[in-house]
Amino acid sequence: KDIPFKRRTRLPFTPVAVTRADAITVPAGYSATTFIPWGTPITGRYPAWLEDGSNSAEDQAQQVGMHHDGMHFFPMNAKLGGRQSDHGLLVLNHEYIDAPLLHRNGPTVVGGKRTNVDEVRKEINAHGVSVVEIRRGPRGEWSVLPTARNRRITGATPMRIEGPARGHALMRTRYSPSGTSTRGTLNNCANGHTPWGTYLTCEENWAGYFATTDTELPRELSRYGVRSSSRYGWETVAGDEFERFNATRMAAAPQADYRNEPNTFGWVVELDPFDPNATPVKHTALGRFAHEGLVFAPVKPGRPVVCYSGDDSQNEYIYKYVSRDKYRPQRSDGRLLDDGILYVARFNADGSGDWLALDHANPAFKRACEAAGVQFADQGEVLINTRLAADIVGATKMDRPEWGAVNPDTGEVYFTLTNNSGRQEADASNPRAPNPFGHIIRWREGSSDFAGTRFHWDIYLLAGPQENSRGPKGKPLDESSILASPDGLWFDDEGRLWIQTDMSGSQLNSGPFGNNQMLVSDPKTGETKRFLVGPKGAEVTGIATTPDFRTMFVNIQHPGEGSTTTNYTSTWPDGPGRRPRSATVIITREDGKRLM
């Protein structure tokens, strides 16, 4: 009998070939099992998922949402510092929806307006976050426990606003005249988790959920791409819960309409997964942009906490946050994310880099604002206009920054730059113009506490086909390691880098790469191999493991993207004739040992 696992390598598996199979493909010796697909009941009445799409909005609010993305596993005893691996909370984002698949007959639109209130509510409820208590049984199988810890957070859940923009004039709305709260989190892409055991979910392409018919847009809307029509048309339905997506000025006072509602989105949201009644918090000190995720540098008692976040849009930036207060184990909490300095990265051509402060009190920032002829009344206004502030200081425009990860062995920070078809001119840190394949950049901070303003960077790999790629040790990638459009990125505890792809369009449907996939790369040796290939039309995104490294959770988002209500381009995971569903996949080794 073949022994699938090799010795003398930290990647002891046989790589899987590229494929366009409508299935999950993993190496010999591993198994992959579908878990909590969209529609799985987790709270309330536990309404069964209905294959024909006829679940109501209320049902959806008690079921797992659509379009699984970033994810984290919290051991049940995490608050006590435990590393329990057979029982915990799986927390995952639901980035957006596929309206043709969400409803029985697709979305109802009459004369450009949404007319079915329950449909629109269902769409809002299919967004957000799921908290699911799960346990591993004696035969290694995972199941959902029907407990009061299970929770759905949706695009309508009340949230508190904290940090410098709390109560700001630009945050005041009809719902919250004091500018201290808002409803919902939307387009939650990647994620993070804090040193104090809470979950972070990040608001990425929120701008498309709003519409305005104003012709002169304020900079806090125009710089983020709020337009005259929205992606799903929610603002066309009567009622305050929908009219809030219309940012048109309708009254004299800003707190009498929803012109400022978009300003309450674009933030990092913190939630305590162990307290199902806790109000999630939007932390404005971390900046407002198309937040992909948030990754922390290693924490040290008595030092500030440091975290990184990318703005995933063409020619946008990478940011770092340094808390004002110091980290104190067992005592620190989310308030560390409410007072600190936000920096943006400049990657210099000589391999050095600078963190440029976006701080109203910083003399260099003040001079840059003066030189640009731009005024900010206070730090809240700087943060609401984070992109503009970063433009002013001369940050480096990147090829769509996605996830970040910190190498536990070296402290180097890695970031995916997924692609940039719009790049006109190459520079040292974005060396291809255009860049259809993407790359992974990394840097080493100049100070051991990660809090300084200097760093040194290099490029870890250039993704692409063999003839247009460069692997970690300078050689081209080979058939076991070619990839394009890297997005998800994660280090396991032993310093292996896991890379997930988000190809779309012709890159996905033709050419050498096959379906979206997940690879593993060893920065020590440069060895890089394909570990998993997803089903048709799906993105592979979101990754977490149990502390014992025997169970891995990976999310499969939008299988069968582009399907109509009657013609499915994928039927994963339920099989022929069944509508495709986003789902988590559980990966284990057949011999029950650690994954690697």
Rounded to an integer, what distance in angstroms lies between the CA atom of residue 332 and that of residue 338?
12
Name which of 202 and 482 has its Cβ closer to ligand FEO. 202
Shortest Å, Cβ 205 to Ca ion: 10
Tell whether the torsion through CA atoms of 559, 563, 564 and 568 is positive or negative. Answer: negative
Name which of 289 and 365 has its Cβ closer to ligand FEO. 289
Name which of 119 and 204 has its Cβ closer to ligand FEO. 204
Name which of 381 and 399 has its Cβ closer to Ca ion. 399
Name which of 76 and 508 has its Cβ closer to Ca ion. 508
Rounded to an integer, what distance in angstroms lies between the CA atom of residue 266 and that of residue 288?
5
Shortest Å, Cβ 421 to ligand FEO: 15
Residue 529's DSSP bridge partners are 520
Name which of 150 and 309 has its Cβ closer to ligand FEO. 309
What residue type is 511 in one-letter code? Answer: G
What residue type is 430 in one-letter code? Answer: N
Name which of 153 and 189 has its Cβ closer to Ca ion. 189
Nearest to 500 by CA among 482, 485, 511, 481: 485
Could you tell me where the DSSP H helices lie in 62-103?
99-102
Residue 539, binding choice from ligand FEO, Ca ion, none, Cβ under 5 to 8 Å by partner class: Ca ion
> Contacts with Ca ion: how many residues (CB under 5 A)?
4
Nearest to 439 by CA among 462, 414, 413: 462
Q: Which helix (H) or strand (E) holds 515?
A: none
Residues of span 531-590 touching Ca ion by CB under 5 A: 539
Under the criterion CB under 5 A, does residue 502 sit at the interface with Ca ion?
yes
Name which of 13 and 415 has its Cβ closer to ligand FEO. 415
Q: ∠468-474-480 over CA atoms, to 5°?
A: 65
Which of 487, 492, 522, 527 contacts Ca ion by CB under 5 A? 487
Shortest Å, Cβ 322 to ligand FEO: 24
The phi, psi pair for 102, rounded to 5°, reads -70, -35
Shortest Å, Cβ 204 to ligand FEO: 5
Strands 128-136 and 113-114: unpaired
- CA–CA distances in Å: residue 560 to residues 104, 231, 320, 515, 528: 16, 19, 36, 11, 28
Contact 584/552 with Cβ under 8 angstroms?
Answer: no
Residue 381, binding choice from ligand FEO, Ca ion, none, Cβ under 5 to 8 Å by partner class: none
Could you tell me where the DSSP H helices lie in 356-504?
363-372, 379-384, 386-393
Name which of 150 and 501 has its Cβ closer to ligand FEO. 501
Rounded to an integer, what distance in angstroms lies between the CA atom of residue 578 and that of residue 186?
27
Rounded to an integer, what distance in angstroms lies between the CA atom of residue 408 and that of residue 401?
21
Shortest Å, Cβ 413 to Ca ion: 17
Shortest Å, Cβ 251 to ligand FEO: 34
Residue 133, binding choice from Ca ion, ligand FEO, none, Cβ under 5 to 8 Å by partner class: none
- CA–CA distances in Å: residue 443 to residues 123, 227, 308, 350, 478: 40, 36, 12, 13, 25
Contact 344/358 with Cβ under 8 angstroms?
Answer: yes
Shortest Å, Cβ 507 to Ca ion: 12
**Residue number with the shortest CB distance to Ca ion?**
502
Rounded to an integer, what distance in angstroms lies between the CA atom of residue 230 and that of residue 116?
17
Shortest Å, Cβ 524 to ligand FEO: 28
Contact 291/311 with Cβ under 8 angstroms?
Answer: yes
Shortest Å, Cβ 95 to ligand FEO: 6
Full strand arrangement of the beta sheet holding 497-501: 486-491, 497-501, 517-521, 528-533
Eight-state DSSP code of residue 404: E
Residue 98, binding choice from Ca ion, ligand FEO, none, Cβ under 5 to 8 Å by partner class: none
Name which of 272 and 292 has its Cβ closer to ligand FEO. 292
Options 18-26, 159-167, 333-341, 494-502: segment touching Ca ion (CB under 5 A): 494-502
Shortest Å, Cβ 190 to Ca ion: 5
Strands 158-162 and 281-283: parallel
Shortest Å, Cβ 188 to ligand FEO: 9
List contacts with ligand FEO (CB under 6 A). Answer: 95, 189, 204, 292, 312, 402, 487
Rounded to an integer, what distance in angstroms lies between the CA atom of residue 17 and that of residue 57?
41
Residue 261, binding choice from Ca ion, ligand FEO, none, Cβ under 5 to 8 Å by partner class: none
Name which of 204 and 270 has its Cβ closer to ligand FEO. 204
Rounded to an integer, what distance in angstroms lies between the CA atom of residue 89 and that of residue 96?
22
Name which of 97 and 281 has its Cβ closer to Ca ion. 97
Shortest Å, Cβ 404 to ligand FEO: 12
Rounded to an integer, what distance in angstroms lies between the CA atom of residue 39 and that of residue 539?
19
Interaction mask 164-203, Ca ion, x per CB under 5 A: -------------------------x--------------
Residue 352's DSSP bridge partners are 456
Contact 468/461 with Cβ under 8 angstroms?
Answer: no
Rounded to an integer, what distance in angstroms lies between the CA atom of residue 220 and that of residue 481?
41
Name which of 18 and 543 has its Cβ closer to Ca ion. 543
Shortest Å, Cβ 542 to ligand FEO: 11
Under the criterion CB under 5 A, does residue 354 sit at the interface with Ca ion?
no
Residue 220, binding choice from ligand FEO, Ca ion, none, Cβ under 5 to 8 Å by partner class: none
Binding site for Ca ion (CB under 5 A): 189, 487, 502, 539
